[in-house]
Structures are given as structure tokens and as C-alpha cells.
């Protein structure tokens, strides 16, 4: 009997493949292509402003909202919903629209834009902006119900949760030290408690609905040559030296200081660092990316064009 | 946000029993509720004899919270809204309009950075004059360094008006001047006060009415913020970020274009850089650097940051003297 159970397959190869593909969709977009990312991961994209952080989010969103196949043409997308929470409040919808149109017409190899396909893709992109931490918490607390509704409406599940950018309210929250309150077990509102709640809520969300979490973080302080800002305490990180000295000389000059509470830092599973180099390709600046978690010795150089991100060799 | 008690009238499920339960968990206000773990709260409610009522109360508060954030929009709705409500307004400087593909975008915060006499204020005044002439709406100029000169603005308007008839011109100047409002602001707290007042006024106005405000100028925003930065505390940065978010909120909700100016300071290795530091960098949508070669009337504008243009793209422009 036990033997029969053992011989009986748990699932067919086809089932397994579809399960694995769902759990681990290929998000091979540069500069995120070096590390295999799967749902449940929390990826932090760190860099000074501007270093194409939002652009990386937009391109990832486009790959997710594009269908795999449509009208006999292979688009290679995931056809899943994207949730975009904008804390910086400066998302420009024209940018994603423009880039999506480019991507569609590039694949179709014609300049004629299929309006129906474009609209279907744009509908899979859900956007909300928050002007303070309370709005963010209110969004996260009610997101589960919202996701269920969206999934029913579209017949599709969300695949990406994006937050741009997580440190937006850092200074405001840090300054809001509330007075000691009556009631001995009342939590005080602080940077710490907000971060704790954000982490809890996202953790519960991705348990209920497996999603890949992509978060940007601007280096709002301590981003500068080594000499200055030495007095500040905090975790310091210096990019490791590697073979392409020229390329990394700029990276080396910088110290990136962690400022988010440790509860957030522990929540992050992957971290990539972006910066803009001095060199240019044509008239567009070349950006440099390097993985910090997991630490990789290679760094990539990429440029942003109308059609999206492309690697420079 | 509100204390839980104040929700009682609207939500009958929030009764004295429920309030007592919340107080015992240390929840007195909606904020307290927001930073609480819901699963934990529900687990405690289940131990209570009135667990069903308590759970209903929790759901009630959740539905209240659902109304406390901004609206969810999908990409298509977002695009429609932007195309319908956000105009691109011409600054009257051909080079800048060309670079920005038409001019300043409503709903966005644009920052002009430049050293002294690079033409920041002049661009602001010219944009104000041009918009007052060509559009139906108004312009608000918040002046923190006494840079607004009415005579100069009248002169700019008279040069921008193309008519030859003297009477028509005078009428045009009067009409345009009456649409530019100027207010002196000398510290950040007055700025908050004025911006909040503007918000209230614009909220009470009927939507789509003529005379909507198109442009809000702050010349210069850095001279209001620089004095509060520094020191050990984070209050200065907190005020700065709050001011930035308030400006972006005004821009978004009232489809307003916001134009601010920022000076430059000496950076590492003698290269000058925009004032206000790293945290301010993530506030503006668009950052433009103005510069001028000595002895030449041609000025250069280049992109430091833009949602869709590459950094470093530049063009030349001339100002009306």
C-alpha cells in the first residue's frame, strides 16, 4: 500500500511545470536579470535620485502586464496584475504608456498600435498614491480585499507589488515623536512602529497572494564621498572592488548609509544598487547596477531609452 | 485622523462595548488601529463572549479606513485623467518649451536650479506673464526674496502682446496683470499657511470654472527651507519633506503646475550643486539647470531629472530684456 502510494505520482510533469513557472516566472529584464527572483522575494532597488530606479519598476511592470500571446503574436509577458503604490507622488503615466507602446510595436514589427491590446494591458496596472504614512497603512490594510476584487474583475491574479519609494516619509515619521500616552499598552506612533506595521502587512499580503515585491529606496542621506558624513552612525556599506576598476571607481567613492529601521532591513531579501556613471552613450547617461544581496562581483551598465532599458557591453 | 469615539454616530456597530475592548488593547484612535496587527486583534476578540459583535466593529473600522486613502486607478483611468485635466502650459521661453515638449506640465512640480543671475526669476516672471496673457486662468507668485517687480512684469507683458493698437495693448496689460497674484512669504510657516489657504479656496471653487489657477510659483523655495535645515534634529528635514508633499498634493489634486527655484552651493571639488541636499532631490518631478556664459545673452537650460527625458539633454534660450 505504502509502495503504491510512493509509486503514484504526486503530480504530472505538466502540472509541475505550470506550478513552477507560476511560482518562478522569468523576469529576465536587465538590470534584474542576474539573480533568479521568485514570488515572495522582497527586492530593494537602492540609489541616489535620479538613477533610473522608477524606470526599472516601470519596465518590470510592462513585462508583467503584457500578455504571453495575443492575436497569434508572442509578447512574452506574464499577463498578470501589477499593484503600484506611489509614495513619491510623481509617477508620470505618460512614461509607462509611451514605453508600453514602444514595446508592443517593437514586437509587432509595425508602427500601427493595437489599441485594444494597449488598453487591456493598461487595465492590469493598478495605481494609488499616498501622501503620508497613514495613507500607506490604510492602503496596505485594505489591499487584501482590493486584490480579491481586482482578481475577480480581471480573472487574473496580481504578480507584482511595487512601492516607490519606501523612504519617502522617513523624515516626517522620524520627527513625529508623540508624547507618552495614557494607557499602559498603547503603542506610540513612530518610524519604528510604522515600519513594523508595513512589514507585517506586506508579509501577510504575500502569504495570501504570492507576489514579487519590488521596492525602490532613494539614498536620502549619507550619499557622498567618504570624507563627509562620517559622524553619522548607522550601517555603512562600501561597494567591493572588482576587475573593472574604471567603472567602479565612482561606486567606490560612495558610501551608502542605511536609514530604514532594522525591521525593514531584515525583511528585504534582495538588494540592488543603482548609480549613474559619468560616461554617456550617445546623449543618454549610462547607469551602473550592482547586486548587494546576494553580493555579486559583476556589475552591469545599462541605458534608458524610449523603448526601455538595454544593457551596454 | 479621528478618535474612535467620533465614529460612533456614523457606524452603529461601534458601541460602548467595542470601544471598551479597543481601549483595553490600547487603541483609542484610528491611527492606533492602523499600527495594530489585525490578526492579533481578531484573535483577542475571539476570546471575548461578544466576539461576533467585536468582529463586526473591526470590519466597520476597516471600511472606514478604506475611505481614508486616495483612489485606486488603473493605468487607463490614470491616462484619461491626465489627458483630460493636465494641460501643458507654455512658459514663453522657446528654448525651455522646446526642451520640455511644450512647456510646464500641470500636475507636476518643476524646479529651476541655477547660480545667481542665471535667469531663474526672469524665467518665472516671463512664464507668469505669458500664462496670464494666453490662458484663461490665474497665476500665483509667492515671493520670498522681494524679486517680484510689477513694473517689470507690465513691461514683459507689453512685449509679449503682439497687437499694435495702443488701446488694445493697455487693455491687454491690465487684464493680464489682474490675473497675476503676488504674495510675500518670508518663512516656512507662512508658506504652509498660504498653501493650506490656497487648498481650501481651490476646493470650494466650482470645478471647470474659468479663472482656475494654472501656475503656482515660489521664488525661491530654497531661501525658505535653508534656514530650517541643519542642527542635530530631524525637524528641519521633516518640514522640508512636508512642504514638498503639500506642493505635490496641490499640483495633483488641483491640476496645478508648480514652479519653484533653488540656488546652487559649492559642492565637492568646487563643483557647484543644487542646494537642499539629497532628500529634496526626490521631491520635484522635473529639475532644470539654468546657466549663462558671461558676456552672452544666450542662456542654457539642461535637464537634471525628468520622468521621460534623459539627464543632460539641453537647449539654449533667450529672455526678453
CB contact under 8 A, B71 and A165: no
The reply to whether omega before B315 is within 30° of 0 (cis) is no
b or e along A211-234 (b: 16 or more beta carbons within 10 Å of the residue's beta carbon)? Answer: bbbbbbbbbbbbbbeeeeeeeeee
pLDDT (tens, 9 = 90+) of chain B, 321 residues, equals: 678 888 888 887 788 888 888 888 888 888 888 988 888 888 888 888 888 888 888 888 999 999 999 999 999 999 999 998 888 999 999 999 999 999 999 999 999 999 988 999 999 999 999 999 999 889 999 999 999 999 999 999 999 998 888 899 999 999 999 999 999 999 999 999 999 999 999 988 866 566 789 999 999 999 999 999 877 778 899 999 999 999 999 999 999 999 999 999 887 777 888 998 888 998 999 999 999 888 788 999 999 999 888 888 999 998 887
Contacts of B82 in chain A (CB under 8 A): 93-94
CB contact under 8 A, B79 and A126: no
Q: Percent of chain A scored above 90 by pLDDT?
A: 39
Residue A39 pLDDT more than 80? yes
Among A308, A303, A309, smallest CA distance to A282 is for A303
- Work out the average pLDDT over A188-217: 91
pLDDT of residue B181: 94
Contacts of A90 in chain B (CB under 8 A): 108-109, 248, 284-285, 307
pLDDT of residue B23: 86
Residue A242 pLDDT more than 50? no
- Work out the average pLDDT over A45-74: 90
pLDDT level of residue A227 (50, 70, 90 thresholds): very low
Which residue does chain A place closest to B234, by CA atoms? A175
CA pair distance B100, B110, nearest whole angstrom:
11
Residue A233 pLDDT more than 50? no
pLDDT of residue B206: 66
pLDDT of residue A22: 63
For the stretch A18-30, pLDDT in tens is 766 666 555 667 8
Contacts of A132 in chain B (CB under 8 A): 245
pLDDT of residue A1: 63
How many other C-beta atoms can be found within 10 angstroms of the C-beta atom of residue A298?
11
Closest by Cβ to A122, choosing from B25, B72, B76 = B76
Distance from CA of A270 to the nearest CA of B (A): 23
pLDDT level of residue A254 (50, 70, 90 thresholds): low
First to last CA, chain B: 51
Contacts of B278 in chain A (CB under 8 A): 48-49, 218-221, 223
More confident position, A156 or A42: A42
Residues 6+ apart with CB under 8 A from B305: A49, A50, B281, B284, B286, B287, B311
First to last CA, chain A: 59
Closest by Cβ to B310, choosing from A119, A141, A283 = A283
CB contact under 8 A, B245 and A135: no
pLDDT of residue B278: 86
For the stretch A65-89, pLDDT in tens is 999 888 888 888 888 999 999 999 9
Contacts of B248 in chain A (CB under 8 A): 89-90, 131
pLDDT of residue A239: 47
* Pairing mode, strands A158-164 and A212-218: parallel
CA pair distance A47, A62, nearest whole angstrom:
21
CB contact under 8 A, B252 and A139: no
Q: How many CA atoms lie within 13 A of A30 on its CB side?
A: 15
Which residue does chain B place closest to A126, by CA atoms? B74
CA-to-CA separations, B52 to B23, B38, B63, B221, in angstroms, rounded = 18, 15, 17, 54
Q: What pTM value is reported for the model?
A: 0.89
Angle at alpha carbon of residue A53, lines to A295 and A47, rounded to 5°: 55
Contacts of B311 in chain A (CB under 8 A): 50, 276, 285
Amino acid at each position: 500500500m505504502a509502495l503504491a502510494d510512493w509509486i503514484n505520482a504526486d503530480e504530472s510533469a505538466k502540472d509541475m511545470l505550470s506550478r513552477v513557472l507560476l511560482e518562478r516566472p522569468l523576469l529576465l529584464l536587465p538590470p534584474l536579470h542576474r539573480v533568479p527572483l521568485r514570488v515572495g522575494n522582497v527586492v530593494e532597488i537602492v540609489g541616489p535620485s535620479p538613477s533610473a530606479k522608477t524606470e526599472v519598476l516601470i519596465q518590470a511592470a510592462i513585462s508583467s502586464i503584457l500578455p504571453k500571446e495575443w492575436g497569434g503574436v508572442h509578447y512574452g509577458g506574464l499577463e498578470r496584475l501589477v499593484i503600484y503604490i506611489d509614495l513619491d507622488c510623481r509617477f508620470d503615466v505618460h512614461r509607462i504608456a509611451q514605453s508600453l507602446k514602444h514595446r508592443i510595436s517593437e514586437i509587432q514589427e509595425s508602427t500601427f498600435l493595437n489599441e485594444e491590446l494597449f488598453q487591456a494591458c493598461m487595465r492590469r496596472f493598478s495605481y494609488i498614491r499616498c501622501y503620508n504614512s497613514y495613507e500607506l497603512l490604510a492602503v496596505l490594510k485594505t489591499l487584501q480585499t482590493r486584490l480579491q476584487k481586482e482578481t475577480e474583475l480581471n480573472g487574473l491574479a496580481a504578480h507584482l507589488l511595487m512601492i516607490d519609494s519606501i523612504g519617502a516619509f522617513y523624515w516626517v515619521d522620524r520627527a513625529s515623536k508623540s508624547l507618552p500616552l495614557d494607557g499602559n499598552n498603547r503603542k506610540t506612533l513612530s518610524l519604528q512602529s510604522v515600519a513594523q506595521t508595513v512589514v507585517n502587512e506586506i508579509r501577510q499580503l504575500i502569504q495570501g497572494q504570492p507576489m514579487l515585491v519590488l521596492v525602490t529606496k532613494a539614498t536620502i542621506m549619507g550619499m557622498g564621498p567618504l570624507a563627509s558624513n562620517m559622524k553619522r552612525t548607522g550601517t555603512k556599506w562600501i561597494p567591493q572592488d572588482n576587475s573593472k576598476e574604471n567603472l567602479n571607481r565612482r561606486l567606490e567613492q560612495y558610501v551608502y548609509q542605511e536609514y530604514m529601521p532594522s525591521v525593514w532591513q531584515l525583511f528585504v531579501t534582495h538588494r540592488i544598487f543603482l548609480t549613474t556613471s559619468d560616461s554617456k552613450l550617445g546623449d543618454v547617461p549610462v547607469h551602473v547596477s550592482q547586486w548587494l544581496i546576494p553580493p555579486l562581483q559583476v556589475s552591469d551598465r545599462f541605458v534608458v531609452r524610449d523603448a526601455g532599458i538595454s544593457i551596454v557591453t | 485622523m479621528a478618535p474612535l469615539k467620533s465614529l460612533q454616530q456614523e457606524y452603529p456597530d461601534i458601541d460602548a462595548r467595542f470601544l471598551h475592548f479597543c481601549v483595553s488593547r490600547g487603541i483609542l484612535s484610528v491611527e492606533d488601529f492602523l499600527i495594530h496587527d489585525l490578526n492579533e486583534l481578531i484573535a483577542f476578540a475571539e476570546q471575548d463572549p461578544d466576539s461576533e459583535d467585536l468582529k463586526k466593529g473591526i470590519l466597520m473600522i476597516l471600511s472606514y479606513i478604506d475611505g481614508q486613502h486616495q483612489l485606486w486607478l488603473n493605468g487607463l483611468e490614470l491616462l484619461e485623467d491626465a489627458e483630460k485635466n493636465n494641460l501643458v502650459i507654455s512658459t514663453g521661453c522657446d528654448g525651455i518649451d522646446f526642451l520640455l515638449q511644450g512647456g510646464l506640465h500641470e500636475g507636476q512640480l518643476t524646479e529651476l536650479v541655477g547660480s545667481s543671475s542665471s535667469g531663474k526669476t526672469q524665467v518665472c516672471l516671463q512664464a507668469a506673464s505669458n500664462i496670464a496673457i494666453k490662458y484663461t486662468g490665474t497665476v500665483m507668485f509667492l515671493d520670498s526674496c522681494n524679486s517680484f517687480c510689477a513694473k517689470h512684469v507690465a513691461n514683459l507683458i507689453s512685449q509679449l502682446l503682439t497687437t499694435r493698437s495702443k488701446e488694445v495693448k493697455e487693455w491687454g496689460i491690465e487684464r493680464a496683470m489682474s490675473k497675476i497674484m503676488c504674495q510675500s512669504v518670508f518663512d516656512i510657516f507662512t508658506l504652509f499657511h498660504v498653501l493650506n489657504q490656497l487648498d481650501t479656496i481651490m476646493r470650494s471653487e466650482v470645478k471647470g470654472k474659468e479663472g482656475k489657477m494654472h501656475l503656482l510659483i515660489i521664488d525661491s523655495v530654497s531661501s525658505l527651507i535653508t534656514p530650517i535645515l541643519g542642527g542635530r534634529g530631524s525637524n528641519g528635514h521633516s518640514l522640508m519633506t512636508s512642504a514638498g508633499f503639500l506642493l505635490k498634493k496641490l499640483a495633483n489634486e488641483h491640476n496645478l503646475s508648480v514652479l519653484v527655484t533653488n540656488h546652487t552651493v559649492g559642492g565637492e571639488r568646487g563643483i557647484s550643486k543644487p542646494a537642499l541636499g539629497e532628500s529634496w532631490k526626490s521631491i520635484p518631478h522635473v529639475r532644470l539647470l539654468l546657466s549663462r556664459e558671461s558676456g552672452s545673452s544666450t542662456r542654457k537650460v539642461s535637464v537634471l531629472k525628468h520622468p521621460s527625458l534623459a539627464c543632460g539633454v539641453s537647449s539654449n534660450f533667450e529672455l526678453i530684456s
